[in-house]
């Protein structure tokens, strides 16, 4: 099994598509005003946005995009006009993270984890 894509809701698909293109994703599908799909610049994952009648309520989902040069990416995105809720910060779980929100309030974490993404010291190994 492999994760293909994550889809988030949007009340303004045009604004969301513009945001994710600005974030660096490449738009590969546009279906009227109801759906847009993107390729991540690295790897084979895709990401999509679908039209919704209302914004999510509560904490919702956090979407994580890994960046090799997190600090450089954040500075570039800030220079392009994106506003971050938090600058890159080292976390106790050995990830470096920065947060922002898309036009609909979906939480986006840009991060760098290196080997700790899949192999942190506390990784649970399969038994048997």
pLDDT in tens, 71-87: 999 999 999 999 999 99
Query: Is 5-53+61-117 assigned to CATH 3.10.180.10?
Result: yes
pLDDT tens, residue by residue, 6-58: 999 999 999 999 999 999 999 999 887 899 999 999 888 999 999 999 887 77
User: What Rg value do the Cα atoms of the chain yield, rounded?
Assistant: 16
| Domain regions of the chain by residue span | 5-53+61-117
Task: Quote the pLDDT of residue 58.
Answer: 76
The C-alpha atoms of residue 60 and residue 43 are separated, in whole angstroms, by 25
User: What are the residues whose beta carbons fall under 8 Å from the beta carbon of 76, sequence distance 6 or more?
Assistant: none
Percentages (nearest 5) of helix, strand, coil residues in the chain? 20, 35, 45
Note the pLDDT of residue 128.
Answer: 65
Q: Which residue has the higher pLDDT, 60 or 30?
A: 30
Q: How far apart are CA 1 and CA 44, in angstroms?
A: 14
Average pLDDT over residues 96-118: 95
Q: What is the dihedral of CA 7, 9, 12, 15, to 10 degrees?
A: -40
Nearest Cα to Cα of residue 77 among 11, 3, 23: 23
């Amino acid at each position: 099994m492999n994760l293909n894509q994550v889809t988030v809701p949007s009340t303004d698909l045009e604004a969301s598509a513009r945001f994710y293109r600005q974030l660096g994703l490449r738009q590969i599908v546009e279906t009227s005003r109801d759906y847009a799909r993107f390729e991540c610049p690295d790897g084979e994952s895709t990401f999509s946005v679908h039209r919704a009648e209302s914004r999510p309520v509560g904490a919702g989902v956090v979407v994580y995009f890994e960046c090799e040069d997190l600090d450089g990416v954040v500075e570039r995105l800030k220079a392009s006009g994106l506003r971050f809720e938090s600058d890159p910060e080292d976390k106790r779980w050995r990830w470096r993270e920065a947060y922002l929100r898309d036009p609909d309030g979906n939480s986006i974490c840009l991060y760098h984890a290196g080997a700790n993404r899949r192999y942190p010291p506390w990784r649970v190994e399969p038994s048997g």
